[in-house]
Chain A
Amino acid sequence: MDAPGPRPSGPQWEARGAPRGNWLATHPKFMEMMSLDVADSTQVYAAFLVYLDLLEGRNWHEVTCVGLAEFQLICLHGREREAENLQFVVPTPVHMSFTHERLREIMKKACIPQEETDSSLSVILAIVESDSTVVYYKLTDGFIMPDPPDDTEDKDNKQWKKKRRKLLR
């Protein structure tokens, strides 16, 4: 994967497809991640994309990078808003595959125990596609009940639509 990533528009571009310099390679955060020297370039690239997405795309309050040497991964610690808890994000390119045990070991190492004792091990797996799409899925140790169906909202919409269709026929 050596695409230069999201292309900014503007005076840097003289001709289409001919960037002045590879801005990504000289980005300070990217260089910091490379210097951690724990992961290969594809994982660093994925981690960098997720870093940008969280900070710039989703306006997270803060995001820092941490190396997990034994897994050859860079993971990110971040807070969505100032008052919220720290969340642990594990970026990974889509072609990697993990065993369930490996995921659990990564979870144990990536999570730093929080002050409140009731928070269980939880990480967000950020899966990066070759077209830079990122999807975020949450892995938690143990049984997490699903949210109950939102009765009033869902029902009203569906039934209202059905009634309208019948009336208009």
Chain B
Amino acid sequence: MIQIHVLQGAALVWSAEDAREIRERFRLVGTLVGALARKPRQNTRLGLPLQLLPEEARLLAELGEAILVRSTETQPLAEGEELNQASEVEAYKQELEESYQEQQRLAGAERGALLARLADHIAEGRARRRQERGEAPDAGEDLGLLDSPFILPRGSMMVQLPTARCHSGRIERVDWTSPSPDWPHANCPAHEARYHVFRELWDRGYYLSGGSKFGGDFLVYPGDPLRFHAHYIALCCPPGAPLPLCALVAAARLGTSVKKTVLLCSPSPSGTVAFTSLQWSGLQ
């Protein structure tokens, strides 16, 4: 069962296996929104968690393939849990210390080997400097460097940042059919209309993603977005909503310049969705 963590309306998937399954089995793409531990200061490549559109999360919940959960970590611990957590912290600190000692030992050994290799070089350099300064050559000092104890600074220590937990932490289930602070979309008319359109397009076999980059609700792809450009920019028009002609012209013109067809989508009360394609007529 896929776990979707909801936080103030955002749906997040933290497990890499789940993220993969969502794409491969369910044809849902989502967006990776997490900073990569080794390359934090850029936005070209991001990592987990995978953020799903509210429509994508609802689809998975409706299919019975996922549950919505929220973290309860911010709530005060129960008695038994507190002791558990304290011992976990102790164990972690112990591990860190052991790792530090090991790293220090290895770094010291490596440094020793390096110095041994360069011993002659160093001796030469020392002798030359003493000659320049006019002092007498002294054979006894050469091995001095190797004797001083090597301390690895704590700031240079390598630390592993786990990007997955072995267990999901304290969570509780969220009902996707009723509105709550972490999942406010339930029963919201705008969300219902968008979901209706999303579901219809998904049922027809398309891949869908968010359309905000092109001023629409969804982008509709004939295949995986990694392999295809979007064909349509889907605009949800709830029944009865007026479409000002300026907005229509703006949307159509944008669609023409980015080589996508604008798709006006309206869910009808009977359950079907009406689709109208809007394109430039070609008349200059």
Contacts and interface: CB of A to CB of B under 8 A. Distances in A.
Interface of A: 58, 92, 94-101, 103-104, 107, 124-125, 127, 135-149
B74 interface: no
A97 B243 CA distance: 6
Contacts of B246: 94
B240 interface: yes
A58 B100 CA distance: 81
B36 to A, nearest CB: 32
B61 interface: no
B201 to A, nearest CB: 10
A146 B282 CA distance: 13
Given A92-B245, A98-B243, A137 B281 contact: yes
Contacts of B252: 137
B264 interface: yes
Contact of A139 (B259, B260, B276, B283): B276
A127 to B, nearest CB: 5
A94 B232 contact: no
B249 A147 contact: no
B261 A145 contact: yes
B280 A100 contact: no
Nearest to B238: A100
A146 B243 contact: no
Contact of B283 (A95, A96, A101, A136): A136
B239 A146 contact: no
B214 interface: no
Nearest to A96: B245
Pairs A-B, 3 closest by C-beta atoms: A136-B281, A144-B277, A100-B237
Contacts of A104: 274, 276
A96 B38 CA distance: 55
Contact of B241 (A99, A139, A140, A147): A99
B276 A145 contact: no
Contacts of B259: 146-149
B231 A99 contact: no
B242 interface: yes
A135 B283 CA distance: 8
B219 interface: no
29 contacts: A94-B245, A94-B246, A97-B244, A97-B245, A98-B243, A100-B264, A100-B266, A101-B240, A101-B274, A103-B264, A103-B276, A124-B281, A127-B245, A136-B280, A136-B283, A137-B248, A137-B278, A137-B280, A137-B281, A138-B282, A140-B276, A141-B275, A142-B275, A142-B277, A143-B261, A144-B277, A144-B279, A146-B232, A146-B279
Contact of B279 (A95, A100, A138, A149): A138
Contacts of B282: 138
B237 A140 contact: no
B53 interface: no
A125 B245 CA distance: 10
A149 B276 CA distance: 22
Nearest to B237: A100
B263 interface: yes
A139 B277 CA distance: 6
B97 to A, nearest CB: 57
A149 to B, nearest CB: 6
B238 to A, nearest CB: 9
A94 B247 CA distance: 10
A125 B248 CA distance: 10
Given A135-B249, A137-B249, A145-B231, A98 B280 contact: no
